[in-house]
Amino acid sequence: MAYQDITVERRGRIVCVTFNRPERMNSISVQTGNEFLEVLTAYRDDPEQWVMILTGAGDKAFCSGMYVTEAAHKSEEKGKTEGYTIFKPWTDMMQSIRKPFICAVNGYCIGGGWHLVADSDIVICSDNAQFFDTHVNIGLINGVESAGLAFKMPLGIVMRMVIEGRHFRVSAQHAYQWGLVSEVLPADKLMAKAWEIATHIAEDAAPLAVQGSKKAIMGALDRGPAEGIPYTWTVLTDIQDTEDTKEGFRSFVEKRKPRFVGR
């Protein structure tokens, strides 16, 4: 299907979504959000889609967040600020999906672009990546994105990024040092690495086991150590009688590559 603001590439069980508005630093408009929500819905519901990569077109910006020009016009028309409303449907969807997301950050990741980073499971970036925020500089609260990042990196850094606004920028190397990204790559190697990671997951990992692992980890974080670790034991039994678990054991004994089917 052809989209206006994004491109979607499918290789087997891997889906790559590219935010394709480089002239607007890949900002997210109403149209962008609606298109992404449609792709996320298909990813959630299609048993043959196992891994999703997220990236941005061009080498200047991964995503600059809300398309402020559009939001300002709509707010002026309605007499109140409604920019946040275009983000909630797709961010809620992304947060609810147990399948894995790989985020490949190329260039600037600003403000609302943090949603994509905070809600992805694996984040890598190019060596020219920069992370910063402008919410307070245009009179807005950064709450949801910053809360997500606070689970991934030091709270003091997130607070400074949010409160100091555009004047505090996190480089790719600092993002790695502070645990926001797991790898920094030359810009021309970034997408090859993203596809490599996705291929490892799609071709050599049982999808229900991947999704169950994500469920266990996120559920434990929600509950805290005292309740969270015991909770993970209850998740282990979710897939113990599935075809894939039986195939995993069988293939190990037979010394061959498993043939997982997602059931």
- CATH code, 247: 1.10.12
Do 154 and 100 reside in the same domain of the chain? yes
The three-class DSSP label of residue 97 is: coil
What are the DSSP calls for 207-262, one per residue? HHHHHHHHHHHHHHHHH-HHHHHHHHHHHHGGGTTSHHHHHHHHHHHTTS------
Do 155 and 176 reside in the same domain of the chain? yes
Describe the strand order of the beta sheet including 61-63 as a list of residue ranges. 61-63, 108-110, 130-132, 170-171
CA distance 106 to 116: 13
Counted domains in the chain? 2
In a domain, 101, yes or no: yes
- pLDDT at position 81 is 59
Do 221 and 190 reside in the same domain of the chain? no
* Residue finishing a domain among 176, 202, 228: 202
User: Residue 196 sits in a domain of what CATH number?
Assistant: 3.90.226.10
Q: Name the nearest CA neighbour of 112 among 41, 211, 27.
A: 27
In a domain, 263, yes or no: no
CA distance 49 to 10: 9
Do 12 and 72 reside in the same domain of the chain? yes
Do 59 and 189 reside in the same domain of the chain? yes
Do 191 and 110 reside in the same domain of the chain? yes
Do 189 and 249 reside in the same domain of the chain? no
Tens of pLDDT, residue by residue over 161-181, are 999 999 999 999 999 999 999
* Residue finishing a domain among 161, 179, 202: 202
In a domain, 123, yes or no: yes
> Domain range for residue 177?
6-202
Do 176 and 66 reside in the same domain of the chain? yes
In a domain, 1, yes or no: no
Pairing of strands 14-19, 51-56: parallel
Do 177 and 216 reside in the same domain of the chain? no
* Residue finishing a domain among 202, 221, 237: 202
In a domain, 63, yes or no: yes
- pLDDT at position 63 is 96
In a domain, 261, yes or no: no
Do 85 and 145 reside in the same domain of the chain? yes
CA distance 117 to 217: 17
Residuewise pLDDT in 10s, the chain (263 residues): 789 999 999 999 999 999 999 999 999 999 999 999 999 999 999 999 999 999 999 989 999 988 666 654 455 555 555 566 788 999 999 999 999 999 999 999 999 899 999 999 999 999 999 999 999 998 889 999 999 999 999 999 999 999 999 999 999 999 999 999 999 999 999 999 999 999 999 999 999 999 999 999 999 999 999 999 999 999 999 998 999 899 898 988 999 989 999 89
Do 125 and 155 reside in the same domain of the chain? yes
The three-class DSSP label of residue 125 is: strand
Do 218 and 186 reside in the same domain of the chain? no
